[in-house]
Chain A
């Protein structure tokens, strides 16, 4: 069964600094991987996804993530944080042969001015 571990329940960065949110997965086969963002009192919105092909995936709002099979990782990055990036971020994994979409515990990103 697949699982997701997000390292760091809270991450704080200064405005303009690099954002790095970590995600490691466990899956018996190469999975599909997703990053979602949740703003307060709202549902989840897709940032980006990896299914097949290019391992560096670009998403909305300047975010990108790289699938590294050897490290079983799918870390989310953004070169320069903006105040509007403050939110909770979730990594999710799906087994290509399964039906379940499994989420990590989430990382709350705080951006300091």
Chain B
């Protein structure tokens, strides 16, 4: 019963490097989300998707890209890493609007 799986758990990037944060869910959920968590700021929505092939921007999308080619996977791409992207990233999924979101364990990213 895996739920939402995020990889990697930790990563250090140099400024200007790129990487993809992976997220997979096995609950057949239509909705998937990417959040970043910074101390004292709560969770900010980066991007979300309501189904395969459909994505939309959240509150803080600049510097990130997403794709949703399958129901299960929702990768988050950082093209040119910047120190401001140092954060903890959470992926989540839900079935529909009135149900709760299930969260992965997070990816701690440091950009130096």
Contact = CB atoms under 8 A, between A and B. Distances in A.
Interface stretch (A39-47, A69-77, A79-87): A39-47
Contacts of B44: 103
A92 B35 CA distance: 13
Contacts of A55: none
Interface of B is mostly: strand
Interface in A25-73: 32, 34, 36, 41-46, 49, 51-52
B40 A105 contact: yes
Given A43-B104, A43-B105, A43-B106, A96 B42 contact: no
A95 to B, nearest CB: 8
A110 interface: no
B50 interface: yes
Interface string A74-113: 0000000000000000101010101111111110000000
A101 B101 contact: yes
A27 B8 CA distance: 36
A104 B45 CA distance: 11
Interface residues of B, number: 26
B104 A49 contact: no
Nearest to B44: A103
Nearest to A104: B42
A12 interface: no
A9 interface: yes
Interface in B19-44: 31, 33, 35, 40-44
Contacts of B94: 101
Given A32-B97, A32-B98, A51-B98, A101 B41 contact: no
A104 B31 CA distance: 20
A102 B103 contact: no
Nearest to B108: A41
Given A32-B97, A42-B105, A43-B104, A90 B43 contact: yes
13 contacts: A9-B40, A42-B106, A43-B104, A43-B105, A52-B98, A90-B43, A99-B31, A99-B50, A99-B56, A101-B33, A103-B35, A104-B42, A105-B41
